[in-house]
Structure 1
Amino acid sequence: MNIKSLLLGSAAALAAVSGAQAADAIVAAEPEPLEYVRVCDAFGTGYFYIPGTETCLKISGFIRFQTTFGEDQSGSSDWDAFSRGFIAFDAKSDTEFGTLTGFFAIEADQDNQNSNNFKVDEAYIQLGGFKVGSFWSWWDKGLNGETDINGNDTTKFNSVAYLYDGGTFQAGVAVEELEGVTSKPNGVGVSAIVSASLGGVSFDLLGSYDSEVEEGAIRGLVSADLGPGVLQALAIWSSDPNAYWSVSEWSVAASYRFNATEKFAITPGAQYFGNIRNGVEFNDAWVGSLGNEGFGNGDAWKVGITGDYQITEGLATRVTVNYTEVDYDTPIAGAQDDFISGFVRLQRDF
């Protein structure tokens, strides 16, 4: 009896163990953990990896409310308020040819005169120093503050550009489509820039040629850290009105950004325009459309001051006031020869 009982007990135990193993075999596996967004610090702050890829993406933008003031800002009114939304997507990844970038930005304005005006700000592809697409040209770079005019408001083109970056020295060339800027078809422009920086001083020399009107322009810009701020100056010369500069034959400007505190800065600025364009009203927001008018013998000058205050992280305000005086070579009916203009801005960046 003892041997029989032992055999039966052993068989029951083996059956129990086998049953437990069989039960374990059919239990569903636990789900794999989700792949959370990972921070990408290879290209600066704000980037994260797109899940499942080695591409880093940064989403940024701003919301702006602004009220401008001055002569005839909106129809017969001397002031105009508008709101603007701007959002940008910047995708980057490392390749054997350098950093590959895809950039797209769009903005939309809302005011009583122009509702829901959506437009592409920039859209381009860049691989290393090679860049193609629609982007602002090197003429868009200006001085601190809001007093200077540094290029026509049409200096954003569909372009092919290459920029060599040697650290303290840069050099670049761009071929730009000028279609629609002048009245002639098949417009092509060429721009070249050299830049150098040493310590707190940097210098840019930029030249552009508009093949449609067969005219060109040159601009030099210098920036230097000086005391508690930044001193900047520029000089422009143009052979005649063209897609890059059509305001005057020559111009000089300067500004100084004084950083009063970590949150508050004041920037006074001034600009002089020699031999301004004939037959075109000189205004604070210059419109660079081209006609048949050449430069004349009139001149203009402009002085102003801009204040910036960082209210809190991501929220800032900017206020600017400018005074402009114009001496037309030939009087233009209805044109203002002296006026005050400016704006008050509140902007939330993200």
Structure 2
Amino acid sequence: MNIRMVMLTSAAALAALSSPVFAADAIVAAEPEPVEYVRVCDAYGTGYFYIPGTETCLKIGGYLRFEVYGGPDQKGTSDWNARTRAQVQFTAKSDTEYGPLTGVIVLRNNGDNTSTETTLDSAYIDVAGIRAGLFYSWWDDDLSGETDVLSSHQTLHNSIRYQYESGDFYAGVSVDELEDGYYKPGENANNVGVAVGLGGKAGIFSYQLIGSYDTDNEEGAVRGIGYVEVGPGTIGLAAAWASGRNSYYDQSEWTVAAEYALKATDKVTITPAAQYFGNYVTDTDSATPTSFKGLGDAWAVGVTVDYQIVDNLYAKATVNYTDPDDANEVTSGFFRLQRAF
């Protein structure tokens, strides 16, 4: 190798050593966006969580139900009918200067055949004891078994209600729109009702007393229910009276009912029950008769069995017999499976 070649090679090497070497730019991962995980909200009981980005607590619950009914003309001329129900409830709560602000939405779908029916079962706002919206009245409460008839027609109304609560006692007044109840021939079903109610618990005894007035029919009804713990179960007693046929109660002029809910095991409750009706209306869907005068009486007996299969899965079966003076006796019942969540 001559001197010239050596010099050129050395110069190239020095140039390479003295020149910066540029590698490919490194890939830098972007900073992850902060994620707000769902937080448990225990201020209002179990099952609530904070809606991300808010101070509102939300609870989602509901149930799935399958049931088979038996009795005269359950579906057309068929003596039995099966149906499936799905219900979901959304309950939102947040603190305000007036106390908890509650909003409830309940959606229900009744699948009786290939076509299903979805309804808004309840939807209301509740704050400081005032409730406004679509919700069930106090008349929807009844004894724990399935034998009694202690309300008539629809107990779900668009209403505004104030209810005072203190410990185990409550009292309130409600103004109800009565669109699905009884009305006399030639009149419309859109009228107004006023109801007052109170109830509570004292030791082993609990009670409820309600009175309501149907302004369109100019008739009223009162009802009382009481429970007392006796032995391995609970006795339930109820009585109702109506001055005339109205949207709150028109099954009979008066009635008394009794049951005993026997807690046979931790999972099984057996409830025999009986009810007597004075001046019994055999068809409450008919506008006639317009009064209770001249009607015969009726009585009913039945038994209901409740069984908790596992947590959140329940079975219920009931059979009831009704014998009215003015119509044929009827035997009916149902079997139900229900999964709550």
Task: Please give the per-residue CA displacement for 1:275-302, whole angstroms capped at 9, x wherever unaligned.
Answer: 113xx43xxxxx5564552113301111
| Amino acid in the other structure paired with 1:111 | D
Residue number in structure 1 paired with 2:270:
266
Residue number in structure 1 paired with 2:22:
none
Aligned to 1:83, the other structure's residue is in SS state strand
Residue number in structure 1 paired with 2:306:
308
Q: Displacement of 1:260 after TM fit? A: 1.1
Q: Displacement of 1:108 after TM fit? A: 1.1
Residue number in structure 1 paired with 2:126:
126
Query: 1:305, 1:320 within 8 Å by CA — same for their partners in 2?
Result: yes
1:244 aligns with 2:248: yes
Residue number in structure 1 paired with 2:79:
78
Q: 5 Å matches for 1:52-201?
A: 52-112=53-113, 115-181=115-181, 182=183, 183-184=187-188, 186-201=190-205
Residue number in structure 2 paired with 1:15:
none
Among 328, 347, 350, the residue aligned to 2:338 = 347
How high is the TM-score relative to the length of structure 1? Answer: 0.85
Change (3 A) 1:185 1:73: closer
Query: 2:154, 2:180 within 8 Å by CA — same for their partners in 1?
Result: no
| Amino acid in the other structure paired with 1:293 | T
Q: Displacement of 1:68 after TM fit? A: 0.5
Q: Displacement of 1:146 after TM fit? A: 0.6
Identity %: 52
Q: Displacement of 1:180 after TM fit? A: 4.9
Residue number in structure 1 paired with 2:238:
234
The 1-side partners of 2:129 and 2:286 are apart by 31
Aligned to 1:139, the other structure's residue is in SS state helix
Q: Displacement of 1:32 after TM fit? A: 4.8
Query: 2:151, 2:249 within 8 Å by CA — same for their partners in 1?
Result: yes
The 1-side partners of 2:337 and 2:180 are apart by 34
Aligned to 1:84, the other structure's residue is in SS state strand
1:322 aligns with 2:326: no
Query: 2:280, 2:324 within 8 Å by CA — same for their partners in 1?
Result: no
Query: 1:246, 1:288 within 8 Å by CA — same for their partners in 2?
Result: no
Change (3 A) 1:327 1:292: closer
Moved more, 225-234 or 54-63: 225-234
Q: Displacement of 1:228 after TM fit? A: 1.6
The 2-side partners of 1:246 and 1:322 are apart by 20
In structure 1, list runs of 5 or more residues that go unmatched. Answer: 1-22, 282-286, 329-334
Structure number with bigger Rg:
2
1:43 aligns with 2:41: no
Q: Displacement of 1:159 after TM fit? A: 0.3
Query: 2:153, 2:180 within 8 Å by CA — same for their partners in 1?
Result: no
Query: 1:242, 1:290 within 8 Å by CA — same for their partners in 2?
Result: no
Give the aligned length: 312
Query: 1:152, 1:288 within 8 Å by CA — same for their partners in 2?
Result: no
| Amino acid in the other structure paired with 2:44 | F
Change (3 A) 1:56 1:288: farther
The 2-side partners of 1:130 and 1:100 are apart by 10
Moved more, 27-36 or 92-101: 27-36
Aligned to 2:139, the other structure's residue is in SS state helix
Query: 1:245, 1:288 within 8 Å by CA — same for their partners in 2?
Result: no
| Amino acid in the other structure paired with 2:146 | E
Q: Displacement of 1:204 after TM fit? A: 1.2
Change (3 A) 1:349 1:264: same
Task: Please give the per-residue CA displacement for 1:21-76, whole angstroms capped at 9, x wherever unaligned.
Answer: xx9xx977732542111111111111111111111111111111100011221122
The 1-side partners of 2:39 and 2:233 are apart by 38
| Amino acid in the other structure paired with 2:191 | G
The 2-side partners of 1:155 and 1:290 are apart by 18
| Amino acid in the other structure paired with 2:40 | V
Task: Please give the per-residue CA displacement for 1:200-225, whole angstroms capped at 9, x wherever unaligned.
Answer: 21111100000001000000111112
| Amino acid in the other structure paired with 2:291 | G
Among 187, 209, 213, the residue aligned to 2:213 = 209
The 2-side partners of 1:111 and 1:221 are apart by 33
The 2-side partners of 1:115 and 1:228 are apart by 44
